[in-house]
Chains A and B, each alone.
Chain A
Amino acid sequence: MGSTLAEKVWNAHVVRRGDGGEDLLYIDLHLLHEVNTPQAFDGLRAAGRAVRRPDLTLGTEDHNIPTVAVDKPIQDPVARRQSELMRANCAEFGIPLLRIGDAQQGIVHVIGPELGLTRPGMTVVCCDSHTTTQGAFGALALGIGTSQVEHVLATQTLAMRRPRDMAVTVDGVLRPGVTAKDLVLALIAEIGTAGGQGHIVEYRGTAVDALSMEGRMTLCNMTVEAGSRAGMIAPDATTLEYLAGRPGMPRGAAWEAEAARWRALAGDPDAVFDREVVLDGAAVRPFASWGTNPAQSVPLDGAVPDPDGFATASERAAARRALEYMALAPGTAMRDVPVDAVFVGSCTNGRIEDLRAVAEVLDDRRVAAGVRMMIVPGSAAVRRQAVAEGLAEVFDRAGADFRAGAGCSMCAALNEDRLRPGERVASTNNRNFEGRQGRGSRTHIVSPAVAAATAVSGRLAAPDDL
């Protein structure tokens, strides 16, 4: 029996097969951010331990930093203290750190690939559930908790039982205006927030092959919203094209050798998956969430569902709670839902391709009166490129607020970018949980194109509606 992509990467990193079902895996890249790490460093200090491989570790400031006045000291006292702690910890243990204002700074899952650090076949961990993003390169990329961060810092390994394998196959051609975001929302709506639990999902099929690396990252990013440990896509020509010429990438014959290795990572044709899901790419429509978890999503053409229509008592109760929180009546057409704000950004949709999609819709249009639109680049490099391509001007003319700084911003509302209680937002982020974008905030998860069309119309809308 052949091996899956995930199995190949896993097996290549086993330091030791443990008793009790856990393997000890070597970690090739360990990314850190400022919010979930201080306790891990405290643990190291308390035990008198060093960081085994600071040269395989990289810190970034992204979660709580401001997206304005990035050249000035951080104003918010809590954020400033966390950043100071991060800087002191990285300095003490010799870990490179990208700080606010640095040319390469950005959201941790955006910069890993951008800097050429995330490569096929690697193991990547970060104290953040959306580390799954980086599996788009055929890496095994896992979100971990703070205690595990401490373990990786001290040992450069992670003790873990190998998750099961799940295949998600999407054939067919996505219709114009349908994006990876819609695809993944459709998937989660179908399989549920625990549909991938305990599994590593491998995406395949012609619709996946046709996605850009940005689209693949969006897909893998939200894989965690289906409860999966990781999402992966086998490296192909698209992957190699993205990687070629990235910083530190080998050249010439050495590049050819790496590329050959990476291509060989693809799962064997006779590999067996524990679970398989098939979606028809051509049937996917632009999606939007209506509730308080990402599975509570419907096509934009649809309506807010009636809680009584759900199969189980717990689903009915969850839908009722969600509608109450979202202040939506069953049967309301999704296109009739008005918004107060639009947020474009996050590790899900804060890359250059996402900003291009937004600019295409906003070109020669205006953000509707009464709606504020915030666009936050996923990295400083994304912002530079958006300026170079003239996207920033389009945003400006449309009346959108294109932020100077890159970071998580209103995705998690840890900095001052947040909604007021009761405000409703069309957001390109990944989570519509209660209070996620500010206490009492109401989130509709959408693609960048839908976010932009919604900003123009003031109600949930697709570009074709304009």
Chain B
Amino acid sequence: MEKFTVHHGTAVPLRRSDVDTDQIIPVRFLNHSERTGHADALFADWRTDPGFVLNQPRYRGASVLIAGRDFGTGSSREYAVWALLNYGFRAVVAPRFGDIFHGNALMNGLLPVTLPEATVERLWDVVTAEPARRITVDLTRSRLDCGDVGASFRIEEGARRRLLSGLDLIGDTLRHEEAIAAYESTRRSAMPTTTSV
């Protein structure tokens, strides 16, 4: 996983709530089996509208997405996170995230930053007035700053440590192989297996 410590960039305002993962990447694009190459599929149905915010030249190169409440709800497709990363986003700010999306983002080094609705609205105003305004997302201090808007955010400690160090969670878990084996030895023989299917 790519490390996340401090990120500087510019931001794009997505003034919509309930952006489900079917909108982030429509299902017809779940058609290749890599983690990369999904940039063009990001918000594909909305990007056909020339006025859509990602199509506006002034937001070209933005790396932080500022979205409305309940971003990433719905389908568990991790493609949604890959599409955002492939497009160039490193962080998404929203008042609330879908649980599975949130977890997927943390596993891939896309930082989901939860901030109160009022703060998100102020951020929208700042980056609407000044698209080139620099935004800083600092995970070492759990702080976001953009113009005169500054806010602290919380990331669960375990995930935060992994992001800061770029640690591979599977490798980390495998260090506890003995504990897994010990648990396994206590499982009852009545538990089903799939080999009989």
Residues of A within 8 A of B (CB): 15-16, 18-22, 24, 26, 28-29, 35-36, 38-39, 42, 47, 49, 52, 54-58, 78, 81-82, 85, 95-96, 98, 104, 115-117, 119, 122, 127-129, 143-148, 150-151, 154-157, 159, 161, 163, 193-194, 197-198, 227, 229, 247-248, 250, 254, 257-258, 292-293, 314-315, 317-318, 321, 412-414, 431, 433-436, 439
Q: Tell me if B73 is interfacial: C-beta within 8 Å of chain A.
A: yes
Q: How far is the CA of A58 from the CA of B193 in the complex (A)?
A: 9
Chain B, 166-197, CB within 8 A of any chain A CB = 168-171, 173-174, 176, 179-180, 183-184, 187, 190-197
Residues of B within 8 A of A (CB): 15-18, 20, 22-23, 26-28, 30-31, 33-35, 45, 68-70, 73-79, 81, 96, 98-100, 103-104, 107-108, 117, 156-161, 168-171, 173-174, 176, 179-180, 183-184, 187, 190-197
Given contacts A116-B192, A155-B180, A293-B20, list 11 more A-B pairs with CB under 8 A. Answer: A16-B179, A29-B192, A117-B192, A129-B100, A145-B77, A227-B73, A227-B99, A292-B18, A314-B68, A413-B27, A435-B27
Whether the pair B193, A55 counts as a contact (CB closer than 8 A) is yes
Chain A residues with CB below 8 A from B187, complex form? 26, 28
Q: How far is the CA of A154 from the CA of B69 in the complex (A)?
A: 34
Whether the pair B103, A145 counts as a contact (CB closer than 8 A) is yes
Q: How far is the CA of A144 from the CA of B102 in the complex (A)?
A: 11
Q: How far is the CA of A85 from the CA of B169 in the complex (A)?
A: 25
Whether the pair A150, B74 counts as a contact (CB closer than 8 A) is no
Smallest Cβ distance from B171 to chain A, in angstroms? 8
Smallest Cβ distance from A309 to chain B, in angstroms? 17
Chain B residues with CB below 8 A from A254, complex form? 190
Whether the pair B69, A36 counts as a contact (CB closer than 8 A) is no
Q: How far is the CA of A314 from the CA of B68 in the complex (A)?
A: 8
From the candidates B33, B78, B108, B158, name the one contacting A20 in the complex (CB within 8 A): B158
Whether the pair B18, A193 counts as a contact (CB closer than 8 A) is yes
Smallest Cβ distance from B137 to chain A, in angstroms? 20
Whether the pair A155, B99 counts as a contact (CB closer than 8 A) is no
Chain A residues with CB below 8 A from B195, complex form? 54-55, 96
Whether the pair A22, B158 counts as a contact (CB closer than 8 A) is yes
Q: How far is the CA of A85 from the CA of B31 in the complex (A)?
A: 12
From the candidates B70, B103, B170, B176, name the one contacting A194 in the complex (CB within 8 A): B70
* Pairs A-B, 7 closest by C-beta atoms: A20-B158, A38-B33, A145-B104, A147-B107, A20-B157, A58-B194, A146-B78
Smallest Cβ distance from B29 to chain A, in angstroms? 10
Q: How far is the CA of A18 from the CA of B68 in the complex (A)?
A: 32
Whether the pair A147, B108 counts as a contact (CB closer than 8 A) is yes
Whether the pair A57, B194 counts as a contact (CB closer than 8 A) is yes
Chain B residues with CB below 8 A from A194, complex form? 69-70, 73, 96
Chain A residues with CB below 8 A from B79, complex form? 36
Q: How far is the CA of A15 from the CA of B173 in the complex (A)?
A: 11
Whether the pair B20, A16 counts as a contact (CB closer than 8 A) is no
Whether the pair B197, A143 counts as a contact (CB closer than 8 A) is no
Chain A residues with CB below 8 A from B76, complex form? 36, 127-129, 143-145
Contact A414/B30 with A16-B179, A36-B77, A194-B73 known, Cβ cut-off 8 Å: yes
Chain B residues with CB below 8 A from A129, complex form? 74-76, 100
Q: Please name 18 pairs of A and B residues whose Cβ atoms are closer than 8 Å in the assembled complex, sorted by A.
A: A20-B159, A29-B194, A36-B76, A39-B35, A42-B35, A96-B197, A119-B191, A144-B76, A145-B78, A147-B107, A148-B104, A159-B158, A161-B156, A227-B70, A248-B192, A292-B18, A413-B28, A431-B20
Whether the pair A433, B22 counts as a contact (CB closer than 8 A) is yes
Whether the pair B183, A26 counts as a contact (CB closer than 8 A) is yes
Whether the pair A24, B161 counts as a contact (CB closer than 8 A) is no
Whether the pair A435, B192 counts as a contact (CB closer than 8 A) is no
Chain B residues with CB below 8 A from A52, complex form? 180
Q: Which residue of A has the minimal Cβ distance to B117?
A: A314
Chain A residues with CB below 8 A from B169, complex form? 147, 151, 159
Contact A24/B74 with A55-B194, A122-B191, A314-B68 known, Cβ cut-off 8 Å: no
Smallest Cβ distance from B5 to chain A, in angstroms? 18
From the candidates B96, B171, B197, name the one contacting A247 in the complex (CB within 8 A): B197
Whether the pair A193, B170 counts as a contact (CB closer than 8 A) is no
Smallest Cβ distance from A43 to chain B, in angstroms? 8
Whether the pair A293, B18 counts as a contact (CB closer than 8 A) is yes
Whether the pair B23, A20 counts as a contact (CB closer than 8 A) is no
